[in-house]
């Protein structure tokens, strides 16, 4: 009877961990499933070893699995970092502009003008926008409209690019031309918006501004909010 209760308890814990993994953003699920699989394997090996059904090799494998489970989070974080460093080294410099609001962090690829981003808070925290479908983005838009107007305007620019002609009912209207600025921009933020580093000259700032405006100007179907932020960043940096 006690053995049955133990098995039921283990099954319940595994189910809870599985549901937790399913609720993670898609790009995090694989790592969670791997950790869950290792945990189950450790439990099985320990059980077989304690009941005498597995040789001492089982205990060694258990130790190895435990060590792997402890190292996995570090490896999961390390591989993207190495990939990012390799990518930056190959590019020879920043190739993205970054705009951050209370709810969102948005990136603009200088090469193709595509927007991508991730959610910083709210019901979809840690999700990538590219992982979300239209219904999820609409739900996020409703949250942004309640929490932060800048985030709503930024998200609308992304949705207008991803769903051409289909994001006009978000309720943000045409108020995005002012950029939603509260006058609190600093040099680091301004450089990030233009995709520049601290060594950027005035000529670099002007050139980056011109290139980005060609890709994002509202008259060319771009985001009015991002265009306003780019103008604000240039004005701040050039004084």
The residue out of 91, 123, 156 marking a domain boundary is: 91
48 and 67 together in one domain: yes
Out of 91, 108, 135, a domain closes at 91
71 and 153 housed in the same domain: no
Final residue before a domain boundary, out of 33, 62, 91: 91
Residues 127 and 77 grouped into a single domain: no
Least confident stretch, 65-69, 118-122, 136-140, 178-182: 178-182
Q: Tell me how far apart the alpha carbons of residues 44 and 39 are, in angstroms, rounded to a whole number.
A: 9
Percent of the residues in the chain that have a pLDDT greater than 70, as a whole number: 65
Same domain, 78 and 104: no
How far is residue 13 from each of residues 18, 30, 39, measured CA to CA in Å?
9, 19, 11
Whether residue 115 is found in the same domain as residue 231: yes
Distance CA 170, CA 155 (A): 10
- 48 and 115 part of one domain: no
Could you give the angle at which helices 202-216 and 224-238 cross, rounded to 10 degrees? 170
Boundaries of domain holding 172: 96-238
Which residues lie across from 99 on neighbouring strands?
106
- Do 76 and 166 reside in the same domain of the chain? no
Cα separation, 114 vs 107, whole angstroms: 8
Q: How far is CA 221 from the centre of its chain?
A: 25
Of 175, 131, 134, whose CA–CA distance to 153 is shortest?
Answer: 175
Side-chain-side CA neighbours of residue 174 (13 Å): 1
Contact 152, 160 (CB under 8 A): no
Condensed to tens digits (0 to 9), the pLDDT of residues 100-156 reads 999 999 998 887 778 899 999 998 999 999 989 999 999 999 999 999 999 999 999
In this structure, are 197 and 119 located in the same domain? yes
């Amino acid at each position: 009877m006690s053995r049955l209760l133990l098995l039921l308890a283990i099954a319940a814990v595994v189910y809870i961990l599985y549901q937790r993994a399913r609720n993670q953003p898609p790009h995090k699920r694989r790592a969670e499933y791997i950790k869950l699989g290792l945990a189950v394997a450790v439990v099985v090996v320990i059980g077989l070893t304690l009941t005498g059904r597995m040789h001492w090799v089982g205990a060694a494998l258990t130790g190895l699995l435990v060590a792997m489970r402890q190292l996995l989070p570090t490896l999961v974080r390390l591989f993207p970092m190495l990939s990012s460093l390799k990518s930056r080294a190959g590019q020879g410099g920043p190739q993205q502009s970054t705009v951050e609001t209370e709810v969102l962090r948005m990136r603009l690829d200088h090469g193709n003008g595509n927007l991508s981003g991730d959610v910083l808070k709210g019901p979809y925290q840690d999700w990538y926008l590219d992982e979300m479908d239209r219904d999820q983005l609409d739900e996020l838009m409703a949250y942004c409209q309640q929490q932060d107007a800048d985030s709503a305007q930024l998200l609308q620019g992304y949705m207008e690019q991803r769903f051409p002609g289909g994001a006009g009912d978000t309720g943000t209207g045409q108020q995005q031309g002012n950029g939603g600025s509260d006058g609190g921009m600093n040099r680091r933020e301004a450089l990030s918006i233009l995709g520049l580093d601290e060594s950027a000259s005035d000529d670099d700032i002007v050139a980056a501004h011109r290139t980005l405006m060609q890709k994002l100007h509202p008259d060319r179907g771009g985001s009015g909010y991002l265009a306003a932020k780019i103008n604000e960043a240039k004005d701040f940096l050039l004084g």
